[in-house]
Structure 1
């Protein structure tokens, strides 16, 4: 036994530490630590149910139409368990479908706090009904929803076009809550009770039958089921479900063992599953987080995609395994329409994808066409969750931007980050002490490389006690922070949600005394093992716990903190080193008596929520927060940024970071990035340079590295590589006005900042599977070099007659075309789209805040019609005043008829700034005879200009107008 601060280091902890170190330093993830579908009892049960012959029937005579919804009962004709179906028409071309038990033994969990409001409804009208189906209309008659009784099925149509079918393959499974029947007496008693219930029904009066149509319908369903059984023609699908019902002690139904961990299930099997068919769709996207391609693959030959927040060390790529976050939203796209499915369930979830065109080559599809085959492409998706209810939103588009608006109207838009947060961040595990921080900070100044934030990992604390500082290494944190503040720079410190169990640690004592820890199934405080050793896990599902946690960020509570200290929530899946699958036991108990299995994927969401609230509260509600989190769920975009976790210094990890962030953007989370250079291993200088070049064009731009890697500050790889890295970081800073404007648009509309090519070119099938290039906003096409020793890359330029301008040479290309671009180590293929205007600030200083009043340059890229437009958002860059006091400028720039006009895009905003327009570059312009600027007061003046005939670039110097002013440039 060895003595340590705060307690005794047990042999068990020593062993666990070595095991952890071994896991952290292995070459690849140990898959055996994580379940496959076959090893997950509920996933296996559900997947064993085969298509067709669904046992569910809709009792159409139970139909109830209310002002907000329609309700009717479903009956499982095998086990006779009644369910309640609720259908809501929602404003904005959406519908919500909920299925729950009609009379559960106890309430089933329904996700809280993710929806920003109770979604506004629109009336559903009954348009037709017969004995086999009912037709409902919504969306001002644009859509109809047809519910078929037997087997239960739902179809959503617009006109004569079928958009989506639900349970058309008969894969719906709703495992009802039940008492365990583990003795002959219980089974006998149950049988007698059932017989007595049937005898009583015989004597129900005719009058009562008429008053209770729902009971009559249920009896009819019972009778029909009994007749089918007696006749021996029970459908195959019903047989499989009946067998499942009868095997009460089947492995995994009441308890389940994985490796050394046994999961007790006091409520027994409780999983839910439902299938969706998407005729006409071959491409589906979303359900992050997975280290996989942008276009989701079919899963027929392997595991489904898994959504279960897990701490996966050095994860594999191109794999459907679960990772740190889980957002259960999927988009389907074809040339005519985009649809979305949002499966609101926080339990462990698996998603199966199949397609009738999977595996067909292009030649095979052409052959089908030539032979007159009329098979419509179709993708089928099956959602399976361990517990909770079926609560699904169908987002009907029809455009990609409609789907973004619809989804974020439910879960919220991306929070507008403070300006510094979208600049460059420098991090490693760990900067050793205050002197190390001072030297790294000075190194950026010495080498003239801008940066905004330096980060501290877990070693800065007193023995992994969060909200503290190591008094030997960081004795004067305020002095350190003040030094950074003098240069307008910030710091981020890590605050993880596992709390060292130590009677001398005030945070632990406060949580324990308030009874805020998660409990075991036996009622004691849940303890796991993480970085501090034995740790408790605060119950962030408890609103009082979240409120208390937020209060700990107050300056008088978090000693040594200042207003330029922000927060990193790592390990919030939650990570439990000695837990099943390196996370928490599912039978742990949360606030309200809910099991961890019900809320697992919400835990990280609540941690980030509470931390962001704490940063807001410490400033009296004035300052915008910055919180980075590793785990996340639907709605996490409201609270900050995420990153792609513990990647590796490998080319494939660089490459996969693109579709990982693109997928997150489609699911509402625009503020995403990957550790530049890779967290594990040591990158070659070429890989590091290429990663900086890619990272500079991703929303969250942070270099980070493992404790065991050599130092990676940008100046440590030789002069040539330093200059390459310096150049691309400076490019990031010149584009900060553009980034900030598109983050504002994401905040207002839900549109992603970093977006797949197909979002901007939805009718071009050649964009549908592109992973290696993407758009920033609607203006910049980015094609990072992600291949080792690359001499050239392919760039696809879409759009018939669309102009694309190389941002460095200004050479113009016309789409659609596949362009081979020769590259050197200094090349980053970036193209501005014709018809757009991009604002930049070209005086780069040591940090973004130092550039606040600096002038702007506008890059006007003309399209084939000699037109372009763009916008610019300006505020103070850090407070909520843009919301509370309308202190902002939102400008609209329009180029048409050889004139460039600046007008307010939002007259409600007002903000005083010294920033002005320094230059205007017009790409694709002819040489004018003169350039005149006319101000709003009617005054005019001539401007100096220069025209490059070789590149067709017109440079107009010093319009010298305030960025908030109205003006017009006339190019004559």
Structure 2
């Protein structure tokens, strides 16, 4: 998109007519638009007070050294645990005023779950996370208390506690020997850890899957583009501790929405919070997948996605007009590249205002026809939605005609300042307000506006962006200034993206030679690109002071390491002192904003499509958000290191209960190139959410832009679409159990310590192992294939591989090829791929039977109508192969008309004399120890999976 057009979108329109003496009429071809000058947000309003994070302050008091802790003064046993009173030994008031008395409650909630809850006896001015915002795990009704695998032990004089695994006697968590600190704005406890621990979780951050000694994790929702090792968009306060000494894994979840900080040291973990209470949940496992499902089943099982969500999605920020979007859809068809869903960034909006479309560039009639055409072709459309609602200028009648603000203002659904006035920040359109999801009227407000929007432009899902929630100024900067609207975001730049990925000059030599001078003149390091500096002066003593009651809200006495800009909690975020309808401060629930918005959108979509699964992809999430939304990785960078990090990102979000995850293939920020995009389009094809998206002013990166990327993309898309039945079965497994779709090797083989932290490979379910190329300029990759005696087959050739357990194998991987292997012992349902998921579902099925060393295999298939929230009819098919026989057993009422057309059996040592399908002779070929059974549809007809069948060979 060119600069002039963007400025028009920001600033409004004036039309004028080109003089033409031969024709006095005006038509669209002679009408142009020039920008009206408007104010920009004053730069002073965008600069916060620079904070010095305590972890970077050598003079900061060490609470472990200074605090005196608590002692136990009373303990009472209960039917499911105990209660007690803790008394402060001596006040130190380090980073807040210490509470003198605390209530301790311990609940044995199930055989695998234990809760430790500590809060002040006087809860005045203490925030306790309400159950209706984040449901609290409850005691199981029918478990044997005596069989709990977790045991709580404590010391009385210097209070500390341990969680011990009863089956092994191993201490899983211990605060003994370190004082508990509990004040109005600072909570801290520590646990000892074994040397060489393997702990994952505690997101969101761009990091490998393991948290090493020396790492500090900040848990505070932040709207910056994928900073390395710093706080990012979402908050998930849970970790998973995998111990190879005992071959067990347990989990720890702090149910708190407060800003938090976690410090990893050689043999300890320190966990801090600047709000709330202690509400810890321990999950016993004992295997990694056990712990994940135990955790996810308590925070909320993931929403079942519609079938079409598994197709390929395309987006770009910078589609200037609806014609640009139409051209992209047409080009996908022209090059015969599958396209399921087209997306729009903020380009479609009228001056970037939610619930609008630009009347000139995206006129409603043409926009609507485009959507109707998409739907006629069984394709889908997803627009972006931002958290901030524009505040119109009351002095401008045209600008003031913005119903989403007026309706919200009249029904009192927006966040307030402490004095009761509207909290007015700034996002894309100018000064904005923000919905308050604790207001009783906000859900109905969303119901009305989303329904009206849908009736005008029938979208198929919503992309919830900027919902940390981001604000481009500090505090309520629009108070008294909204009559300047529309205003331009301060510091906004439309410069071309001149950076290219590592190795660009090698693999893209011709292109490189023409732009190298430009890059040399403008290139900046990644660190510069992803950080924001501030010219404000350092101020900690004057601001970070103790205060009674709720305390110092905007500048807490303990400064967490909020990475953005100058560490001010209000910088590019809603200010901590913004106030909700019930008096709750944003300070306490900032980390929940994204999830609460996603929940409101989910129910708004259901309000007018009551039995269609809402499709939502969000940017900021919290524990339990998976009930409403999927996730994408945010604004990543077009470089190989980000492609690598997408794998541990996927592991993390799978463990957080958000299995429907993907990243912007080929990279969002910066320019991609042919090689990177080719590799990334293939890697992303195995992620549950598969989308390509990039930033404005970067070169276009739709896969048809390069011949090599076309070829690579088609290859991987055919594999993905043929595996849609398998992926949909995994979606349903996640929905009912919480099991991630993409799985770390260390989860699959939890007793093999050499797999700890392997982030360059992953399993799709239990069956497929993907080994991508993650660096430029190579035609090979390396990976391990674990399991003592496990068999692996090449997906493409069906040949059994001669891998050595524990060896780092070198795999051929020329450009356009991504190694994919099938683990023996499993059966994969497939379907002939079509251009869309709808076409694919109408095609014949297949089965890939990968036999293990004993000639056995098993698998599952789940199908339903692909869209209903309340599934009334479904079909489950179990496949079992052994002794040269395959049996398919089905149960359920959902009818599948498509036939089973072919079955491929891998690992058959000798050619069979014949193959029988239900005693009917079937045609087959035998090559490389593989039986190819084909033409079954001619034997069995339609509806093979509706009844039991057998195949013998």
TM beyond 0.5: yes
Deviations 1:467-491 (A, max 9, x none): 1111112222321110000100010
Show the counterpart of 1:330: 239
Confirm or deny that 1:914 pairs with 2:897. Answer: yes
Deviation at 1:614, TM superposition (A): 1.2
| Residue 956 (structure 1) shift | 4.3
**Among 668, 679, 682, the residue aligned to 2:671:** 682
Contact kept in structure 2, 1:434 and 1:473, CA below 8 Å: yes
Aligned to 1:290: 205
Q: Deviations over 1:96-120 (max 9, x none)?
A: 1111101233342324445456512
Matched residue SS, 2:189: strand
Structure 2 equivalent of residue 57 of structure 1: 71
Q: Is 1:38–2:54 an aligned residue pair? A: yes
> Residues 570 and 34 from structure 1, CA distance in 2 versus in 1: closer, same or farther, beyond 3 angstroms?
farther
Aligned length: 805
Q: What is the Cα deviation at residue 14 of structure 1?
A: 7.2
Q: Are residues 1:501 and 2:491 paired?
A: no
Equivalent in the alignment of 2:468: 573
- For residues 649 and 160 of structure 1, do their structure 2 counterparts lie closer, same or farther at Cα, with a shift above 3 Å needed? closer
In structure 2, the gaps of 5 or more residues are 1-6, 14-34, 92-98, 393-399, 475-569
Corresponding position: 1:866 with 2:855: yes
Give 1:515's aligned residue: 412
How big is the shift at 1:527?
A: 0.8
Relative distance call for 1:910 and 1:349 in structure 2 (3 A) is: same
d(CA) in 1 for partners of 2:843, 2:898: 5
- Give the Cα–Cα distance (whole angstroms) in 1 for the partners of residues 67 and 402 of structure 2: 60
Rounded to whole Å, the distance in 2 between the matches of 1:409 and 1:578 is 39
Secondary structure of 1:915's counterpart equals coil
Query: How far off its partner does 1:584 sit?
Result: 1.3
Cα pair 2:250 2:282 within 8 Å, conserved = yes
The aligned runs of 1:138-177 (5 Å cut-off) are: 138-140=145-147, 142-157=149-164, 158-159=166-167, 161-176=169-184
CA contact under 8 A between 1:69 and 1:123: conserved in structure 2? no
- 1:592 alignment partner, SS class: coil
SS in 2 for 1:50: helix
Q: Partner of 2:355 in structure 1?
A: 467
**3-state SS, counterpart of residue 945 of structure 2:** coil
8 Å Cα contact 2:137/2:299 also seen in 1: no
Shift of 1:608: 0.7
Q: Provide the C-alpha distance between the structure 2 equivalents of 1:648 and 1:16, rounded to a whole number of angstroms.
A: 29
Q: Tell me, what secondary structure is at the counterpart of 1:468?
A: coil
Deviations along 1:580-617, whole A, 9 cap, x unmatched?
33111111111311111100100000011111111111
Q: Alignment partner for residue 897 of structure 1, among 863, 873, 883?
A: 883
Q: Which moved more, 1:140-149 or 1:473-482?
A: 140-149
Q: Is the 8 A contact 2:708 2:816 kept in 1?
A: no
Residues 9, 71 of structure 1: alpha-carbon distance in 2 compared, 3 angstrom cutoff: farther
Q: Which position in structure 1 is the counterpart of 2:274?
A: 386
CA distance 1:10–1:721, shift in 2 (3 Å): closer
Deviation at 1:8, TM superposition (A): 9.4
In 2: Cα distance, 1:566 partner to 1:544 partner: 23
Q: Structure 1 residues 454, 279: CA separation in 2 closer, same or farther (over 3 Å shift)?
A: same
Query: Aligned partners of 1:872, 1:522: CA distance in 2, in Å?
Result: 58
Aligned equivalents of 1:33, 1:675: Cα separation in 2: 33
C-alpha distance in 1 between matches for 2:212 and 2:110: 32
Answer whether contact 1:88 1:121 (CA < 8 A) is retained: no
Q: How well do the aligned residues superpose, as a CA RMSD in angstroms?
A: 2.6
Q: Is the 8 A contact 1:111 1:344 kept in 2?
A: no
Aligned to 1:483: 373
TM-score, normalisation: structure 1: 0.79
After TM superposition, the structure 1 = structure 2 runs for residues 794-805 of structure 1, keeping only pairs within 5 Å, are 794-805=782-793
Q: Deviations over 1:257-279 (max 9, x none)?
A: xxxxxxxxxxxxx2222222344
The reply on whether 1:399 has 2:287 as its aligned counterpart is yes
Distance in 2 between the 1:116 and 1:595 partners?
19
> Residue 902 of structure 1 aligns to a residue in which SS?
strand
| Matching residue of 1:354 | 265
Shift of 1:33: 9.9
Is the aligned partner of 1:437 residue 2:325?
yes
Contact 1:281/1:334, CA 8 A, preserved across alignment: no
- Tell me how far 1:522 sits from its aligned partner: 2.3
> How far apart are 1:34 and its partner, in Å?
8.8
The verdict on how the C-alpha distance between 1:139 and 1:855 changes in structure 2, with shifts beyond 3 A counting, is farther
Q: Find 1:408's aligned residue among 293, 296, 303.
A: 296
- Cα deviations by residue, 1:501-547 (Å, 9 ceiling, x for unpaired): 01321000111111211111222111111101101111123343134
Judge conservation of contact 2:199–2:242 (CA < 8 Å) in 1: yes
- How has the CA–CA distance of structure 1 residues 912 and 384 changed in structure 2, closer, same or farther, with 3 Å as cutoff? same
Deviations 1:684-734 (A, max 9, x none): 1000101101100111110001011122222112x3332222222222211
Say whether the 8 Å CA contact 1:52–1:171 is kept in structure 2.
no
Specify the SS of the correspondent of 1:895. Answer: strand
The corresponding residue for 1:312 is: 224
1:13 pairs with 41, 50, 53, which one? 41
Tell me the distance in 1 between the aligned counterparts of 2:192 and 2:66. Answer: 13
- 1:530 corresponds to which of 420, 427, 445: 427
Other structure's SS at 2:733 match: helix
* Cα distance in 2 for residues equivalent to 1:53 and 1:537: 40
- Using the TM superposition, give the Cα deviation of residue 148 of structure 1 relative to its aligned residue in structure 2, in angstroms: 1.6
Question: Is the Cα contact below 8 Å between 1:430 and 1:707 reproduced in 2?
Answer: yes
Q: How does 1:77-116 map to 2 (within 5 A)?
A: 77-79=89-91, 81-113=100-132, 115-116=134-135
- In structure 2, what is the equivalent of residue 611 of structure 1? 601
The answer to whether the Cα contact below 8 Å between 1:115 and 1:410 also exists between their aligned partners in 2 is: no
Q: Deviations over 1:289-313 (max 9, x none)?
A: 11110111222xx6x1111111113
Structure 1 residues 806 and 511: alpha-carbon distance in aligned structure 2, compared to 1, 3 A threshold: same
Give the Cα separation in 2 of the matches to 1:44 and 1:387.
23
SS at match of 1:438: helix
Q: What CA distance in whole angstroms lies between the structure 2 residues aligned with 1:544 and 1:48?
A: 45
Structure of greater relative contact order (alpha carbons < 8 Å, 6+ residues apart): 2
Partners of 1:110 and 1:726 in 2: CA distance: 48
Question: Which one of the candidate residues 938, 946, 951 is aligned to 2:925?
Answer: 946
Post-superposition Cα deviations, 1:898-939, rounded to whole Å, max 9, x if no partner, equal 1111113xx4x31122122111000111311111122xxxxx
2:728 counterpart SS class? helix
Tell me the distance in 2 between the aligned counterparts of 1:635 and 1:802: 36
Q: Distance in 1 between matches of 2:916 and 2:266?
A: 59
Give the superposition deviation at 1:122. Answer: 6.5
Equivalent position of 2:637 in the other structure: 648
Q: Give how far 1:751 is off.
A: 0.6
Shift of 1:494: 1.1
Identify if the C-alpha distance between structure 1 residues 110 and 459 changes in structure 2 by more than 3 Å, giving closer, same or farther. same
SS in 2 for 1:75: strand
Secondary structure of the structure 2 residue equivalent to 1:553:
helix
Find the aligned partners of 1:860 and 1:805 in 2 and give their Cα distance. 11
CA distance in 2, matches of 1:742, 1:52: 51
> Equivalent residue of 2:664, what SS?
coil
**Preserved contact between residue 792 and residue 822 of structure 2 (Cα < 8 Å):** yes
Inter-partner Cα distance in structure 2 for 1:806 and 1:713: 29
Q: Are 1:702 and 2:709 matched, yes or no?
A: no
SS in 1 for 2:387: coil
CA distance in 2, matches of 1:801, 1:36: 54
CA contact (8 A) 2:213 2:264 kept: yes
Provide the C-alpha distance between the structure 2 equivalents of 1:789 and 1:140, rounded to a whole number of angstroms: 56
Q: Deviations over 1:531-575 (max 9, x none)?
A: 011011111233431342133222x4545222x432111000000
Secondary structure of the residue aligned to 1:642 is strand
Separation in 2 of the partners of 1:486 and 1:953? 40
Separation of aligned partners in 1, 2:51 and 2:208: 22
Report the counterpart of residue 734 of structure 1 in structure 2: 722
**Do 1:551 and 1:617's aligned partners in 2 also have CA atoms closer than 8 Å?**
no
Preserved contact between residue 862 and residue 922 of structure 1 (Cα < 8 Å): yes
